[in-house]
Amino acid sequence: MSIIIRQYQQTDQEMVMKLHVEGLNQFSASIGNPFLDKDIEHIEDSYIHNNGEFFVGLMDNRIVSMGAYRKYDNDSAEIKRIRIDQEYQRKGIGQLILTALEKSAKEKGYKRLILDTTIKQFPAIKLFERNGYKETNRKLYKEMEIVFYEKEIEG
What is the predicted pLDDT for the residue at 33? 75
Beta bridge partners of 135: 149
What is the predicted pLDDT for the residue at 27? 87
With a cut of 70, which residues of the chain have pLDDT below it?
A: 1, 35, 155
Written as one letter, the residue type at 142 is K
Confirm if 154 and 111 have CB atoms less than 8 A apart. Answer: yes
Sheet bearing 144-152, strands edge to edge: 4-7, 53-59, 62-71, 76-84, 112-118, 144-152, 134-141
Written as one letter, the residue type at 24 is L
Confirm if 126 and 109 have CB atoms less than 8 A apart. Answer: no
- Quote the number of domains for the chain: 1
Written as one letter, the residue type at 4 is I
Strands (DSSP E) along 10-90, which ranges? 53-59, 62-71, 76-84
In this structure, what CATH number is given to the domain that contains residue 145? 3.40.630.30
Give the containing element (helix H, strand E) for 123: helix 122-130
What is the predicted pLDDT for the residue at 106? 97
* Domain span holding position 60: 4-152
pTM, to two decimals: 0.94
pLDDT in tens, 104-118: 999 999 999 999 999
What is the predicted pLDDT for the residue at 11? 96
What is the predicted pLDDT for the residue at 141? 87
What is the predicted pLDDT for the residue at 32? 75
Residue 48: DSSP 8-state: I
How many CB atoms sit inside 10 A of residue 123's CB?
Answer: 15
